[in-house]
Structure 1
Amino acid sequence: MGQTVIKVDQQTLDRIEKHYANNKTNKQPPHTVFVAKQNGCTITAYTSGKIMFQGATHAEEASHWDVNPETKKKQHTISSASKEVLSLDHIGSDEAGTGDYFGPITVGAVYATEKQQALLRELGVKDSKSMNDKTITSIVKDILKTDIVYSTVTLHNERYNKLKQKNWSQVRMKAWMHHHAIQHVINKLDSTKHSGIVIDQFCEPGVYYNKIKASNDTPHSNITFLTKAESQSTCVAAASMLARYRFVQEMDKLSKKVGFELQKGASNKVDQQIKRIIQTKGEPFLDEIGKVHFGNTQKAKKMQS
């Protein structure tokens, strides 16, 4: 079993514990802060500040948090954009589909003025995690009738799997998608200036910037990274709903392709559906509809014997 160990400060450790709060296990060995499991990876945090990631996705999961010393020195500057931007006209971005075996990753980016943000709230825009997909779809249809500037980027499964074969982590994919969704919005704004950019934080700011540079792009400036940003920024909340809406649309297309409704998430029900697909369409077909590096693939294949 592969593993990655990183060392973090107390502030980062607290943030990591909060991030994995819903994935904690009841197991807590001596000298540990918590043990959690996510995407086939076991995360063990120690009181010393060391965090061990074990499993097939250990490197990818650790890359959410690991920042090299040179980047760490710059990290305060990178993430220090003021929260004052939340009450001004700004661009917000968020993603959907990252933890789902079936379906693509989708990213939404939205620019809205203070007046437009007030309208979005009247339409029901808020943290999408508190809504079901039917409600989100209804509100998004109203959002699309407004004059806000937005963009969505979709990474379909076939390309996702090819990038994984080229050793792209999911973090790098998400960073690339956020960057381009935001750039599309900026292009649409033409000469209109914005007060800043807010991204729902999915990795350390330094890691985000490094991933953008690794793709030979120039990172945007004036970015504020916030955890649970959709509950603080109306623009991020709208972007989150747009991303989810696009994801659900793509899932509907894939469900028609396989002939039955595909399960969202990565549960045991997903394992059963993968088994069924392998039996009826063959394993290579999974490349077109799923994130094949997830542990669900191996579980389903074991069910065949």
Structure 2
Amino acid sequence: MGTTVVQLTPQKLEEAKKYYAPYITPRKIPYASFFAKKDHLTITAYNSGKIMFQGDNEDQEAALWQIKESNKPKKAGSLPENFAQKSIIGSDEVGNGSYFGPLVVCAAYASKNQLPTLKKLGVKDSKMLNDKQILDLAPKIKELVFYQELVVMPQKYNQIQPDYNAVHMKVALHNQCLHLLLEKISPQQPEAILIDQFVQESTYRKYLKKEKNSVTQNLYFITKGEQYHLAVAAASIICRAEFLQKLQQLSLEIGFDLPSGAGTQSDKQAAKIIKQGGVDLLSHYAKLHFKNTEKAKKIADK
């Protein structure tokens, strides 16, 4: 069993806490921000910003958070000049941190001629929009731009997950969306492709080597990509709307509301499903590898 320690900035520590939320378990450790168990790994994050990985292939997990000088997330100045005014494909995903509901990935192509119309529609960072605004905007965006969307429902997600960790799965889906969208818009070519960054570029490209039809050229990675180009904002809104609709469908199917996120309410609702039909039934609604599953089992057994 190996040990790797990485120093994170306060912002990165907060990102790590959100990323590992499904795996966090209660444990009192002095000066610790959180403690998580993922597969055969333990992750201990300290308030100082240090995060310790222990277990099998701990170096690979740590690599998700190690930032080498050449691989630091690009700043606005690292993007081509006048990037926000160019014809760009933007790519984003929704649902990765939610126990219930699908994982949705979308790529959208916004040509420079479409940017004024997108702006007039009110397209912006989806986090600045409420659910009603998102559901109203998504169909209007779909009528305007070329896009490619992939939806992995929980049952399929659970079949794939043992062979694809969360990062690898997202890389595969982003790449497939980009490949299919490039085929749709051909012979048009975007001036660049901007992926809302969820992992270091080196890690993305490492997993990309395992994929067919890999899109490798003219890729840019930046966190909060919606702020740098409306194509990413459009993709994010389409993703979010699809996630909300699918979560609502699953709620209607099971007969009660399924929350987004991975909090205690998710544990309680999952326990109700387990009582109805066991973990087999739960696999149709939830991502089983989340820690919520074990918590729900305990609640159901009471």
User: TM-score normalised by the shorter chain: which range applies?
Assistant: 0.7 to 0.9
The yes-or-no answer on 1:5 pairing with 2:1 is no
The yes-or-no answer on 1:260 pairing with 2:256 is yes
CA offset at residue 39 of structure 1?
9.0
One-letter code of the match for 1:65? W
The residue correspondences of 1:72-87 to structure 2 (distance < 5 A) are 75=71, 82-84=79-81, 85-87=83-85
The yes-or-no answer on 1:165 pairing with 2:162 is yes
The residue correspondences of 1:266-281 to structure 2 (distance < 5 A) are 266-281=262-277
Distance in structure 2 (CA, Å) of the matches to 1:152 and 1:130: 22
**Alpha-carbon displacement from aligned partner over 1:143-175 (angstroms, at most 9, x marks no partner):** 1232x1111111121221122222x11000111
Distance in structure 2 (CA, Å) of the matches to 1:77 and 1:231: 14
Structure 2 alignment gaps of length 5 or more:
none
Distance in structure 2 (CA, Å) of the matches to 1:82 and 1:243: 24
Aligned to 1:120: 118
- Tell me which of 175, 178, 185 is aligned to 1:179: 175
- Percent identical across equivalent pairs? 33
**Residue pair 2:91, 2:235 contacting (<8 A) in 1 also:** yes
CA offset at residue 218 of structure 1?
2.7
1:197 is paired with a residue whose SS is: strand
One-letter code of the match for 2:191? S
**Residue pair 1:128, 1:136 contacting (<8 A) in 2 also:** yes
Aligned to 1:98: 96
CA offset at residue 115 of structure 1?
2.2
CA separation of 1:185/1:37 partners in 2, compared to 1, >3 Å: closer, same or farther?
A: farther
**Residue pair 2:104, 2:152 contacting (<8 A) in 1 also:** yes
- Tell me which of 190, 196, 199 is aligned to 1:194: 190
CA offset at residue 201 of structure 1?
0.4
Distance in structure 1 (CA, Å) of the matches to 2:204 and 2:106: 17
One-letter code of the match for 1:143? I
CA offset at residue 35 of structure 1?
2.6
Aligned to 1:142: 140
CA offset at residue 299 of structure 1?
0.6
CA separation of 1:160/1:77 partners in 2, compared to 1, >3 Å: closer, same or farther?
A: closer
- Tell me which of 242, 265, 272 is aligned to 2:238: 242
1:154 is paired with a residue whose SS is: strand
CA offset at residue 261 of structure 1?
1.9
Distance in structure 2 (CA, Å) of the matches to 1:87 and 1:21: 34
CA separation of 1:116/1:133 partners in 2, compared to 1, >3 Å: closer, same or farther?
A: same
| Count of matched residue pairs | 289
CA separation of 1:60/1:151 partners in 2, compared to 1, >3 Å: closer, same or farther?
A: farther
**Residue pair 2:92, 2:105 contacting (<8 A) in 1 also:** yes
Distance in structure 2 (CA, Å) of the matches to 1:135 and 1:64: 34
**Alpha-carbon displacement from aligned partner over 1:238-293 (angstroms, at most 9, x marks no partner):** 00000111111211221122112211111111111001111112221111111001
Q: CA RMSD in A?
A: 3.4
The residue correspondences of 1:220-235 to structure 2 (distance < 5 A) are 220-235=216-231
Structure 1 alignment gaps of length 5 or more:
none
The residue correspondences of 1:18-29 to structure 2 (distance < 5 A) are 19-20=15-16
CA offset at residue 202 of structure 1?
0.2
